[in-house]
Structure 1
Amino acid sequence: MSVRWPRILTPTHLSQIITYQKNPLTALQIFNQAQQKYPNYRHNGPVYATMINILGNSGRISEMKQVIDQMKEDSCECKDSVFVGAIRTFASAGMVKEAVHLFNSIPQFNCVNYTESFNTVLELMIKESNFKSARQLFLENSWRLEVKSRVKSLNFLMEGLCQFGKSDLALNVFQEMDFQGCYPSRESYRILMKGLCNDGRLNEATHLLYSMFWRISQKGSGEDIVIYRILLDALCDNGQVEEALELLGKILRKGLKAPKSRRHRIDLSKCESGEDLEATKRLINEALIRGGVPSMGSYSAMAIDLYKEGRVGEADKVFDEMRKKGFWPSLLMYEAKAEALSKKGRVNEVVKLIEEDIKEGTCVPSVKLYNIVLKCLCDAGDSDLGVGYLKKMAKQVGCVANKETYCILVNGLCEDGKFVEASQVLEEMLIKSHWPGPETYNILVRGLCSKGKQYEAVIWLEEMVSQGMVPDISLWNSLVASVCCKMSDINVCYEGILTQ
């Protein structure tokens, strides 16, 4: 390991040095050597964060825990994001107890705000269906000065309860918000409305809508349109079309503050029969869009919601209507559309979206949008095209490929049998300080062996071992089988061994 040490070392400089290392263990050695070489040097919070993230992203959990303990002993000021990353690393490794233990130990660190860590652990417990522990965690920590916001954590609780069909308990949590000194957000209403409707509690959902008129919708925000639609759709599905139409009128007047001239232009006579529910719901959706005052928020919210449900045709109509009114689609809308098209396997349309459609507006592709496109191409067996998009990302200012980008592409190339190209992408991935898991090395080494690329396979096997990973015995078997490529050669080897 050769490092060009500067005359004077700063934490910022050390962060740069360890970030550029291809091997996380090498980065850790440099990190530990710094204080030995520079007696007056001290690590600060950002350099600890860099080292912890490197170890966490590469799956070096035991080493990550050691650096976290060292940070606690140094008592340097650290940010909440360090613990969020470490908690997620523990969770992804199935070490939930360690994640909770780390959160409970945060008061021992020099961290003045750990709201996001609190929400991350709470969300983790709810995903594990551990509502009792989640409730206890909330009671023990929500009052702390270091936890700044309670609304987001209460939303997590409500969403978890609703997902498991316990909207009655979620309603109790919602009603407790006032006593907790919280003001329900639009997201609070959306979560509870969806939960109540899914459980068939339409009376409570209707009362919730009226309370929303009073609190959230006083100014007629277009973003509320998604919440209204949840209830109207549920009423239609329950055969209560007349009630839905009556409620629609109130929504246009009180919720969206639609002018009378716009309300009177809406023809809902075709809905009255209620024979074709899907057609009725489409007309109601159009009424919500056209009846209210046109806004970026209403168009975006409706389109994104429809794309998430896979109703691409209806969402595209909202797209077209939006453009006619002089609004340009947002990046979130393009991402939602790409994801919906990708799930339906409409590869050509996904490519057209990023190559042509998005260029017509004011948006530029994001890393998330590129990742959706790459996943779609790889799933369709077009990983070669994905390599081209990786090069485009490198040329786009402010768009840096992340670990997910490289993993999608490496795995896609391997699935297509393009192991040499996968090797090149993996090399770039390591240069950018993103470390794959052992499963990626396993599939790549086996693939190279199957193509007769023994030298490249050995290189990656050595890289794998240098990072402290233990190769499966099947990898060694693949390498031996590749060298002895013909069964006759393998038999000769066995005969030679037995005669010795």
Structure 2
Amino acid sequence: MLWAAKQGHGLLLSKRPKAKARKRARRKMKALHEALVRSCNSLLPITRHLSVSSTISFHSSINLHHAQTHASPSVSPSSRKPADPQNDIEFFWTTQIASPSRIQKLISSQSDPLLAKEIFDLASRQPNFCHSYSTFYTLILKLGHARHFSFMEDLLFQLRRLRYPATPALFSNIIRIYGDAHLPEKALKTFYGIVEFNCQPTSKHLNLVLGILVAHRNFLRPAFDLFRIAHKYGVDPNVESYNILMKAFCYNGEISVAYKLFNQMPKREVMPSVESYKILMQALCRKSQVNKAVDLLEDMLNKGFVPETLSYTTLLNSLCRKKQLKEAYKLLCRMKVRGCNPNIMHYNTVIVGLCREGRALDAIKVLNDMHSNECLPNLESYRTLVGGLVDQGMHDEARHYMEEMMLKGFSPHFSIAHSLIKGLCNVGKVEEACGLLNELLKHEEVPHISTWQEVILRIYEVDEMERLGSLLDDVMKVEIKPHTRIVEAGAALEEYLIKRIQAKSRKA
């Protein structure tokens, strides 16, 4: 038995499918009908068999015949033929089911991209039916995001053959889809093919493709080639295009190429941006060429650019690591004059650099500058400074700033507190060590077990045990709480108490 296919593509005759093929056809039609009902949930106008106001509901293949019966009242229910999937297909193909806008909404509402394509194909078989560009656009992106690239490319071929006026947004999305799928070659091919759709590529398309290509090291040269010939496609690279390539070449270790691109910008009437300078400065700092980076900063400032804070942070870090601390401090002082107020990160960078090189007194000066510039020191500022003062043996200054930080609610790291207390004990200032220990406890800072052991051992080694012992008594009154750890120093404490009792016995 022969059966007819879609009339719009010519009469295709074939042998009647076998039983399995018929079952697949039934399942396919049933799924399509159910999808139409769920997505539309409204009645679709049938203009060929019904009046304009008549509608049809696709609840099942039987409902299709029920609608056909209403369209022809002369046909009695008893004369209707049994439901047959083959007849359903023929009926569906010979019926205008909806307008292009309704089909577009139906396809857009589908979560399954393959089912959306089935609806697209089914509607395409209707006589004199033409999909709208919006329908193509929606389905192409739906298939692309689902990684059905062969179907997506088939639709693009149809779109080009039908000569629809494509929009730039379509190709921007396609390029992004290929980029997310790590297919740089297809993204590049898409850019070259835009002109075939009577659409002009833009700098946005160029930058999207460049960004995708340079993310793959093997495609750095193809990206550079595209950049050089972009003008042949009517696209002039902008500052973002230059920045993308400059950053890629810098990370690839080819700073000289990045410099050439940077110097080409004014010749091509492209103004470098703050980002352009930052890319080169960071690359130079990574190569320890910090002086060249500072020269770039000067050039940037002379041309009226205001560097972002990250550029200054990078330079300050590099200067401190190169031990050019004088230059780092000068740069810090000039920032405010140049219109960029130093923040806590900038100050801390210089404080760390100074303390690392044994210049804690200069770090105190930086801390004082912070107050004058209305930038409050934070925990890192104090911890770094106190640690630097302790390392240089400036115990009195260190104790002052430790007490200041605790008054401001900052917690000193136990290692810094231990170093300071140990340092005080080593120079014979046991009383000061006990006083600092007492201050720690008042601020609910529990010393480490090693700190206790250090103080206890020192106390019973000195001659004035009675006076220093009373200090420890005051400390213990504050410290002995359920969460404290003095009991862990039991051995040293026991020895101290025994000696104290023995001393009292001798006096008695």
TM-score normalized by structure 2?
Answer: 0.49
Between Structure 1 and Structure 2, whose CA radius of gyration is higher? 2
TM-score normalized by structure 1?
Answer: 0.50
Q: Which has the higher contact order (CA 8 A, sep 6+)?
A: 1
